[in-house]
């Protein structure tokens, strides 16, 4: 006697009850799991009867049908939200549909349309990078359809962003050039003083080390005076050297930071605009 149990989440479980010659009944349970990819355990499937295998396959088909229906339902909801201008809700449903149906070109385009409000906005684009990369490797026919429908809107927004970025970029470069000259002069001056003070410090230290052993070997105070003077000059030059090293490090950091947009308000604004322009330039290559 057999009892078949089909669980849409767990798969197919088959219970076999057999009765021995002495009348003792035993029960054996066979369980086949279903993965999201619909892979089958061939060894276990081969042990089933044709009816059991058919039931198992039907269970898989039913699960796939439910996944497809759920994905299509989410996709229809996303299209409806987008048609009504509800971009946030549409984007959420498109991402959900992508989990069920995969990264199809229609879903990816929907995500980009919703995320950019029909290619009129360019805020918070990081979440759209992955769908954009997936669309880049889609079929040529799908990209051509995207270009025909939205190419003009993408190019208009790209030109708008470039027009907004270019004045900011010129202003940043002009201010950077002004600071570069001043910071470069301060850096060279600090480096020169650091090298000089370091040389003086080294000479005085060497002179003091040479003279101090002769203090008790010679008469008169000339050697003692020279040793003390060398030690005093060494200590003073050491303090000056430490000050100059600090100034040198700070000057070097200012030169480096001046070339990095991240260290100024104008530079950070330029970085943000560059990211937006780059995003739409990638879109432009697709269309």
Q: pLDDT for 129-180, tens place per residue? A: 998 888 887 766 766 777 778 888 899 999 999 999 999 999 999 999 989 9
| Tokens read off for 263 | 């260290």
Domain count, the chain: 1
Q: Tell me if 268 is assigned to some domain.
A: yes
Helix, strand, or coil (residue 200): helix
Asked whether residue 230 is domain-assigned, the answer is yes
CA distance 58 to 241: 84
Domain assignment of residue 258, yes or no: yes
End-to-end CA gap in the chain? 63
262 located within any domain? yes
In the DSSP assignment, the letter for residue 101 is: H
List the domain range (segments joined by +) for residue 199.
165-286
CA angle centred on 164, ends 285 and 136, rounded to 5°: 15
Q: Looking at the domain assignment, is residue 17 inside a domain? A: no
CA distance 230 to 225: 8
| DSSP state for residue 104 in the 8-state scheme | -
Task: Please report the pLDDT score of residue 34 as a whole number.
Answer: 45
Residue 242 located in a structural domain: yes
The larger pLDDT score, comparing residue 147 to residue 191, is at 191
- pLDDT the model gives residue 272: 92
Domain membership of residue 153 (yes or no) is no
Burial letters 156-172, b for 16+ CB under 10 A, else e: ebbeebeeebeebbeeb
- State residue 124's pLDDT score: 85
Decide if 95 is inside a domain.
no
């Amino acid at each position: 006697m057999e009892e078949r149990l089909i669980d849409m989440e767990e798969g197919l479980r088959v219970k076999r009850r057999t009765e021995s010659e002495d009348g003792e009944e035993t029960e054996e349970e066979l369980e086949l799991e279903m993965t999201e990819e619909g892979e089958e355990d061939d060894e276990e499937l081969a042990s089933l009867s044709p009816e059991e295998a058919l039931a198992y396959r039907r269970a898989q088909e039913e699960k796939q049908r439910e996944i497809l229906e759920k994905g299509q339902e989410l996709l229809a909801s996303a299209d409806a939200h987008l048609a009504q201008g509800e971009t946030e809700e549409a984007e959420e449903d498109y991402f959900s549909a992508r989990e069920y149906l995969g990264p199809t070109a229609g879903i990816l385009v929907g995500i980009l349309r919703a995320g950019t409000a029909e290619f009129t906005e360019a805020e918070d684009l990081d979440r759209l990078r992955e769908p954009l990369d997936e669309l880049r490797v889609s079929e040529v026919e799908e990209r051509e359809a995207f270009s025909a429908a939205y190419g003009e809107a993408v190019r208009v927004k790209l030109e708008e962003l470039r027009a907004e970025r270019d004045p900011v970029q010129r202003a940043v470069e002009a201010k950077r050039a002004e600071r570069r000259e001043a910071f470069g002069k301060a850096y060279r001056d600090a480096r020169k003083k650091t090298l000089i003070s370091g040389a003086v410090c080294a000479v005085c230290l060497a002179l003091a080390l040479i003279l101090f052993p002769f203090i008790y070997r010679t008469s008169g105070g000339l050697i003692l005076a020279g040793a003390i003077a060398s030690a005093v000059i060494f200590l003073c030059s050491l303090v000056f050297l430490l000050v100059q090293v600090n100034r040198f490090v700070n000057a070097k950091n200012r030169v480096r930071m001046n070339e990095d947009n991240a260290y100024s308000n104008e530079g950070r604004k330029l970085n943000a605009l560059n990211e937006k322009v780059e995003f739409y330039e990638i879109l432009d290559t697709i269309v």
